[in-house]
Amino acid sequence: MKQEYTITVYTENHIGLLNRIAIIFSRRKINIACLNTSPSEVESIHRFTIVINETEDVVRKLIRQIEKQVEVLKAYFNTADEIVWQELALYKVPTEVIAEKVKVERLLRQYGARAVVIRKDYTVFETTGHREETDKLVEVLAPYELIEFVRSARVAIIKESKGFHEKVKEFEQAEPAEEVVENEYLSLQEELFPDTGY
């Protein structure tokens, strides 16, 4: 049975990786509901957060394919109850209409919103929450000449995760980095041409 899954992918920050990951989804005809990329808690490691509606079996196969990408360090998938997540939404409405017809303070309190820009011609409200919460405010503001609405992609933290820096330590303990071996070609050049500066 299909359900919503949040996929978290830890990667090196390389050009073209997003395109290759997107191709993995498109080849399987899987629609991405939302996608967010951001730095992680580990320097030089980025985090992709991808939301899809699929079966667990398909998601498991998808994770295996994503992890085959050279720059991908680790990928996880979680259901909604295994993560803490939020989305940010902005709403632009005419200042005159909103001031005349709505008790703005009540609206802000009820939906946890705040005014981020107030101009003579329009006001922009901002709120964070789950999709149902941000959609509800769209419904409330629609009769008041809602000019524009935008919602960010999901940001999510895995409840049981200790952070990726801990995972990096585990990798290093399990597979310690090899010592740097001197380039054999350069060594051969030094033997053959000791006075040439090679």
pTM: 0.77
Q: What is the mean pLDDT of residues 45-50?
A: 94
pLDDT band at 185; cut points 50, 70, 90: very low
Give the Cα separation of 4 and 79 in Å (integer).
6
Q: What is the mean pLDDT of residues 121-132?
A: 93
Domain positions in the chain are 3-83, 85-151
3-83: CATH, from 3.30.70.260, 3.40.50.12780, 3.30.870.10, 3.30.420.40: 3.30.70.260
Q: Is the pLDDT confidence value at 56 over 70?
A: yes
Burial zone of 182 (CB within 10 Å; 0-12 exposed, 13-18 middle, 19+ buried): exposed
**pLDDT mean across residues, the chain:** 84
Largest CA distance in the chain: 89
How is residue 73 annotated by DSSP? E
Q: Cβ contacts of residue 141 below 8 Å, gap of 6+?
A: 91, 93, 125, 149
| Domains 3-83 and 85-151 belong to one CATH topology | yes
- CATH, range 85-151: 3.30.70.1150
Q: How far is CA 182 from CA 148, 176, 179, 185, 195, in A?
A: 60, 18, 10, 9, 19
pLDDT band at 190; cut points 50, 70, 90: low
The larger pLDDT score, comparing residue 108 to residue 134, is at 134
Q: For residue range 7-26, what is the model confidence (pLDDT) as tens digits?
A: 999 999 888 888 999 999 99
Give the Cα separation of 135 and 43 in Å (integer).
35
Q: What is the mean pLDDT of residues 89-100?
A: 88
Give the Cα separation of 184 and 62 in Å (integer).
40
**The dihedral of CA 159, 162, 165, 166: what is its sign?**
negative
